[in-house]
A and B are shown apart, each in its own frame.
Chain A
């Protein structure tokens, strides 16, 4: 079977992150593979491992969209175990919103031909809108199972659990389908030495918008359907009063709450 996993190169949340420029887009220095995509990759690898892995004719394609540096997200995915990579790289993509992003991702997935399953993380750790999986499913005409906390595959039937606020649901769909997985879905594996060496021989295809037949003005800032009119950095929180308990900290806590009129 052929699985496509979306992998995104996002600013590392361990550092301060910024918006930049007139269009208030994200500053992409110090970026890494989005942590939440590791669960999607693990879900794909577990499904293909159970079916004989690459030797059994299964492929896991790590797909990314972004500038040249975004290839690092694909490379890390190959080290972890993906079979091959596809990188959509084009200057016109800069500043794409979810709508433009899902448009290009749909074209890239169509270009791969026979895809059984598209697996994504629950959200990217930069934009955090979590709407790209549903938009991608809508564009590809695939059934969507989003926010899956477990995924099982029996023949062509995929069964997933989805834990919402009000209900826990079991959902079924027939392949081909799109699934987004939460961080409850599995424990992602790490790249090992063997994987790092093997990744050097794996193929990464880089394509442009022209290769995919997507017009440059359909994407990027020009093709995005949302605009950020203004942006401001929230003042950093500063430490307030810190006390060490010497027997009456609970009382002092209540004094603080009372002073703030919270009790």
Chain B
């Protein structure tokens, strides 16, 4: 069986495997022999977790350059480790960093890179990825035409499951030869973002998003999100106005979400917004302007005042749950 490399970052979130890493390892196990490439410390807990997901081989580096610079040194690690194990595929998460590492690994290994995969299937020994393109209006099936496939995979592309039998991983230390330019962009300061306590936008089953119509007050959006266990999103108009962090932006230049339910509140539904949410399973829209384009794609639309509709819905949900 050929080696499928999964990149595991232990620098930004050390000590445990992310839920996305569980999914990638599950996928790798279905496609071949999973090999974990770990940047940063490989604790006994991490190794036992990797073993539980069927990883028998771990390549690992704690060279300080991996954390001091932007993504390029991490890409050097992944490319050199993938070459060392003659990997047929490299799987990464679909974060901005994951995609950039994928990009550079593609150049280093002369490999085709597929980003934003929503599902990956094994087809005759090669990997076949599905993704949405052109703002969710088309779906395509893509594969690499090269010896190695590099694929960044969105959250929930596969349901994570531990291996039927746990492995005891053998750990090998990798001494990465960093390219001079990889050490050219230094991180001079780093400020952690405050956690909201709500689900991450890209992981959430339900998203409640507010736009210009909230007029600076996200309270009704947040209260509805909290009774639904939902993530809070925003249109670009709302983030540009400074009402909420840019990290909450859904749309062409923000997060692309595809939840079970997307509740769009006070958002007109310009094309750039639709680009980030129209693959949601169900769309509910609340807007006082009956002419808003969002109503053209909403499964359930309410023409009304969000400051009346949302609090009433919150009270009703609380009443029914009580």
Contact = CB atoms under 8 A, between A and B. Distances in A.
Interface residues of B, number: 96
Contacts of B311: 250
Interface in B53-109: 70-72, 75, 95-97, 99-100, 102-104, 106-108
Interface residues of A, number: 90
B271 interface: yes
Interface in B145-159: 145-146
Contacts of A169: 187, 189-191
Contact of B180 (A14, A141, A239, A258): A141
A90 interface: no
B193 A227 contact: no
A167 interface: yes
Nearest to B303: A244
Nearest to A258: B320
Interface stretch (A75-83, A131-139, A189-197, A207-215): A131-139
B271 A13 contact: yes
Contact of B112 (A13, A225, A229): A225
B320 A143 contact: no
Interface in A8-57: 11, 13-14, 16-19, 24, 26, 36
B139 A253 contact: no
B312 A251 contact: yes
Contacts of B320: 254, 258, 263
Interface stretch (A62-70, A109-117, A122-130): A122-130
A166 interface: yes
A182 B253 contact: yes
A253 B138 contact: no
A226 B310 contact: no
A125 B137 CA distance: 13
B96 A250 contact: no
B317 to A, nearest CB: 6
B304 A172 contact: no
Interface string B217-254: 00000000000100000001000000000110000110
Given A141-B180, A227-B145, A257-B284, 12 more contacts: A13-B272, A14-B271, A24-B140, A131-B106, A146-B71, A165-B96, A225-B106, A225-B112, A240-B301, A242-B301, A244-B290, A254-B316
Interface of B: 12-13, 70-72, 75, 95-97, 99-100, 102-104, 106-108, 110-116, 128, 132-146, 179-181, 184-193, 200, 206, 228, 236, 246-247, 252-253, 260-261, 271-272, 275, 278-279, 282-284, 286, 290, 295-305, 308-317, 320-321
27 contacts: A11-B134, A13-B271, A26-B134, A99-B112, A130-B100, A131-B99, A131-B106, A131-B113, A134-B99, A142-B184, A143-B72, A164-B96, A165-B193, A167-B193, A169-B189, A182-B253, A224-B112, A224-B145, A225-B113, A226-B143, A230-B140, A234-B138, A237-B278, A239-B295, A249-B302, A250-B308, A254-B317
Sorted nearest first, the 6 A-B pairs with minimum C-beta distance are A143-B184, A250-B312, A245-B304, A225-B112, A131-B103, A134-B103
